[in-house]
Each structure stands twice: as C-alpha cells, then as structure tokens.
Amino acid sequence: MNILVTGGAGFIGSNVTKLLLDEGHSVTVVDNLSKGHKENIDQRATFVQADLLDQPKLEEILPETDAVIHMASLIEVGESVKKPVEFSENNIIGTVKLLEAMKNTGVKKIIFSSSACVYGTPSKLPITEDDPLGEQENPYGITKVTMEEFCILYHSLFNFDVIILRYFNPYGPGELHQPETHAIPNFIKAVLSKNPIPLFWKGEQIRDFIYIDDLAYAHILPLNLSGLHIYNVGTELGVKVINLVNTIFKLVGYETPINHKGEREGDVSSLVASSEKIKKELGWKAEINLEEGLRKTIDFYRSRLSST
C-alpha cells in the first residue's frame, strides 16, 4: 500500500514509518520539522517538508495514497496551557484541513493517533473503549477529543474508514522531544547524568507504559479495516511510577537522589488500558515487558551521552 504518515519525523511516527517500510509498504512522510528530526526519517521513505495547515500542498501530495496515518500534533500539555490558540490551530484546524484534502483527492482511510487522555479521570480500571470521554483539564486533551470527533464525523458524512488508536504511555529509544515532558526519558537521562530524578506525587501514580515497537505494530494491523474502529493500545499492566524508578536504578546498578516536586495539577492517579478489543479483533498484544524495554531505552540514552 501507499501510506502517507503525518508527523513521521517524530518519535512514534519515525518508528511507524520504518516498520511500514520493513513490511513492504511505500511511505511518504509529511512533517514541518517544528518538533520532529529529519535524521529520524528512514531513507527509504519519501519526505515532504510541509505543514498540515497548507491544504493545497496536501492535495498535491495525497493522490495515489491508499491510507493516511495521522500523527502530526503538538503534544506538550504544559505548553498547551500557555499557547491554546497555537495548539488549536495546529492540532484541530490542521486535522480538518487534512481531512478536507483527503476528501478532495478521494483518499478515505485514516488511522489517527489519539491518547488515553481523552478519558479524563477514569471512572473504573482498566479503561475500555466504550467508557465515556472525561472532562479535559488542558487544551491538549481538548484538541485530541476534537480531532477524534472530526475523524468520526468524516466517517459519518463521507464514508471514511477511520481507525482511532488511543495510546497509553509510549516510551523507548529515539525519544528526543524538546522540551521533553515524558517521565521515562527524563528519569533515565537524570540517572545517567547522576542528577536528581524529578518526581511528582512521590511516584504513587499508576501508568500503563508501552514500548515503542509494540505501539508501532498496532498501526500496521488495521490497514485493511473498513468502517469505524476505536482501540486502546496498552499493556494492561499498571505500574507505580516509583517502581519504574527503582527498576531503572536496578538496571543501571546505582541510585541517584529523588527531587520530590509535590503534586501537579491535571494528573490523574491511575491510567491502565484494557486492550482486549484490539487483541480479539486484530490479534495485537504487547510483547516487550517493562524491564526489557527500559534496558533498551537506557542503552540508547547511554550511547548518546557517550558520543557527546
């Protein structure tokens, strides 16, 4: 298939692109490089530097495309509070322009990169796809809910095939966000530099951490689906953040101080996926356990430190 990947220069997008190519698909990556890194893009892919707000450019690129995997969005929660207009324009308007460009060029299949944040504070665990979407506490979450709704609307109005993947907590080698707001890379980089680990809520939060290779594979399996499908993508295993920190200490062979930063507004106490639906319908399941994934991630950041 000919696949267009938006945001393909980012952490998840570049991994999905590589896997698509390994599986024999042709891939075009569209990225404005505001957050992504060109060196992340597999050289077998065709790269177009473009912005989703440029609908005419999208309409030049899209013909002959069989499916779009849409991962281009701004993701920093704290930044979204400071810049709600920028997040709304980039994430929501960019998505609508992409959907319009797809409609105008006859491309009617989209796999959308969503987030477990759409559930807000969950009423029960594990979270299932038919649980209600929760009240959002930041503009980023609102953009994800709205992006989902627009994808679903284009399914209803224009018969798009829409697959929504709600990620839980991805991690792994290659995560190079600036600024980095995700726990695992920040923890590992602090430990390897022998600096204090920044920790909120004394590490009592529970999260479902999914390794990047497992997450990437979840984008390949739905390519032949038609209709509307929503899937959680998680390991179904809740891990206390403090236990994650202790596992990192064990793997590197020493401990560093912990900088307890108190409570943080907007954090939910527990997020754990039910992935029963994607297992049953697509045969997907997480294969990489947390310790193995952390070991590979530590090796990646260690190699970067040693080369600088």
Give tens-digit pLDDT for 115-143: 999 998 888 899 999 999 988 888 999 99
- Say whether both 11 and 115 belong to one domain: yes
From the list 2, 12, 7, 1, the residue with the least C-alpha distance to 214 is 12
- Say whether both 188 and 302 belong to one domain: yes
Q: Is 191 helix (H, G, I), strand (E, B) or coil?
A: helix
- Say whether both 150 and 271 belong to one domain: no
Q: Is the pLDDT of residue 308 over 90?
A: no
- Say whether both 182 and 53 belong to one domain: no
Count of residues in the chain: 308
Q: Is the pLDDT of residue 19 over 70?
A: yes
At 266 the pLDDT is 63
Q: What is the CATH number of the domain that holds 284?
A: 3.90.25.10
- Say whether both 24 and 116 belong to one domain: yes
Is residue 140 part of the annotated active site? The answer reads: yes
At 138 the pLDDT is 87
- Say whether both 181 and 255 belong to one domain: yes
The arithmetic mean of pLDDT across residues 281-301, rounded, is 95
Alpha helix positions (H), 51-199: 55-61, 77-82, 84-87, 94-105, 139-158, 183-192
Total domain count for the chain?
2
From the list 267, 129, 115, 271, the residue with the least C-alpha distance to 208 is 271
- Say whether both 61 and 189 belong to one domain: no
At 278 the pLDDT is 97
Q: What is the tens place of the pLDDT at every residue in 71-98?
A: 999 888 878 889 999 999 999 999 999 9
- Say whether both 10 and 125 belong to one domain: yes
- Say whether both 159 and 132 belong to one domain: yes
- Which residue did the predictor score with more confidence, 99 or 272? 99
* Phi and psi, residue 209, nearest 5°: -95, 125
Boundary of a domain, candidates 233, 248, 270: 233
- Say whether both 248 and 213 belong to one domain: no
- Say whether both 125 and 182 belong to one domain: no
Q: What is the tens place of the pLDDT at every residue in 158-195?
A: 999 999 999 999 999 987 766 666 789 989 999 999 99
Q: How many whole angstroms separate alpha carbon 31 and alpha carbon 54?
A: 12
Q: Is 60 helix (H, G, I), strand (E, B) or coil?
A: helix
pTM: predicted TM-score of the whole model, two decimal places: 0.93
From the list 268, 281, 234, 286, the residue with the least C-alpha distance to 126 is 234
Pairing of strands 161-167, 206-207: unpaired
Q: pLDDT class for 243, splitting at 50, 70, 90?
A: very high
- Say whether both 176 and 140 belong to one domain: no
Q: What is the CATH number of the domain that holds 132?
A: 3.40.50.720
| Parent domain of 72 | 2-170+209-233
Which member of 119, 140, 167, 171 is catalytic?
Answer: 140
* Phi and psi, residue 14, nearest 5°: -70, -35
Q: What is the tens place of the pLDDT at every residue in 265-283?
A: 666 778 899 999 999 999 9
